Amino acid sequence: AASAPKTWTNEPTLVLVMDGMGESYRTMQAAVDDSDTNFVHDLMGTDAERIRQFPGQAELRSSVGTRGWREAESVYMVEGGDMGRLRPIWKRWTEERSPPELYNHGFHDMESVGALYSRMSSSIFGDWNTCGKVMGLAPWGETWAGKTNGERGIARYDRLFSGSMGYEECDLSVDWSAVERIEAMGPINAWDKSWGKRGDVGGENEALRRHYTSMAASIQNDLEEAILGLAKDLRKHTGATTLCLAGGVAQNSVLNGILAREAGFEKTYVPPCPGDEGISLGCALYGAHLLQTERGLLGKQGGGGGQTQDSREIDTRNTQKFLSPHLGWKYSRSELDDALEEFSPWIESTHR
């Protein structure tokens, strides 16, 4: 969340963070109880009392020691590009249904939208981190539904989620019976076997291929439905006109396009590093902000008695300079012209 708006905007912005799992409630609450100010988290300070949490704080607090919880989806408001005004306003937690000591912290059984999407990725391709392939496979659900023995198949299965997410109410949960039923309809991690030799699309593999495309179409549709509903409701209740996306789910470009077109925000921004790589950037930017605050650099008086340029504006300008949508350095027009001139004997270029 800290890296997303800081790289782009000074406007009041709603930051929607969607990932497989975030920090644990247990760790955050322990820091609060121990008055540990070295660990910066959403439950510290007075803002924590105003966060809409699902489940609520009372249930979370009473379950410490018996049930574990991790962040699923979180929402923040930030104004003026000021890191100090990045405040959490909404958070959904996912229960640790498996012991966190297991491989990947029991991620396979969590109920965040990102975790279930990753589970479907693992079921189809044998890799929980190939969600991009699932997204690309999803549109084929409709196509392959009519390719099985000349009979109409199922473009996508029933919903894998039940309930919905909203600003004031949230009862979204995974329908585990539906998940297990769908996974039992075909072998796990056998996508390669759904194709014949040299990519042959015919024969007995059609049914298996249709099964996997229907799985992909189902989870993609459920993701879009859940997040679009939440985004619309957040806009309605907060009045925000700019939406900024972060977390691994923000790498789902199909979802991003739907949010940009249908959620109703004037602007929708996806930072160049929405996934785990954004964590280090966010920590660096937040740390820089705290250091500037401690050293009195924000709004510091100049030597002549006049107000110097706000250092947070300097930060925003600099991050916009070195961060481009392509993850690399943002080159100036003169640098681009020099590079094109160097290779002009071998290439033709057109300026737009």
Separation between Cα atoms, residue 322 and residue 331, nearest integer Å: 8
Least confidently predicted of 168-182, 246-260, 262-276:
262-276
Residue 317 confidence (pLDDT): 43
Domain-wise residue ranges, the chain: 3-281, 310-352
Separation between Cα atoms, residue 319 and residue 223, nearest integer Å: 31
- Computed over every residue of the chain, the mean pLDDT equals 80
Residue 75 confidence (pLDDT): 95
Residue 219 has pLDDT above 50, yes or no: yes
State the average pLDDT over residues 25-46. 87
Residue 51 has pLDDT above 70, yes or no: yes
State the average pLDDT over residues 75-103. 79
State the average pLDDT over residues 272-292. 77
Predicted confidence (pLDDT) per residue in 139-160, tens digit:
988 877 765 444 445 666 888 9
CATH classification for the domain delimited by 3-281, as one of 3.40.50.12780, 2.60.40.10, 3.30.420.40, 3.40.50.11540: 3.30.420.40
Separation between Cα atoms, residue 39 and residue 259, nearest integer Å: 33
Predicted confidence (pLDDT) per residue in 288-333, tens digit:
776 666 666 554 434 343 434 444 444 444 454 545 555 556 778 8
- Tell me whether strands 161-162 and 173-174 are parallel, antiparallel or unpaired: antiparallel
- Tell me whether strands 161-162 and 13-18 are parallel, antiparallel or unpaired: unpaired
State the average pLDDT over residues 245-274. 91
Separation between Cα atoms, residue 236 and residue 234, nearest integer Å: 5
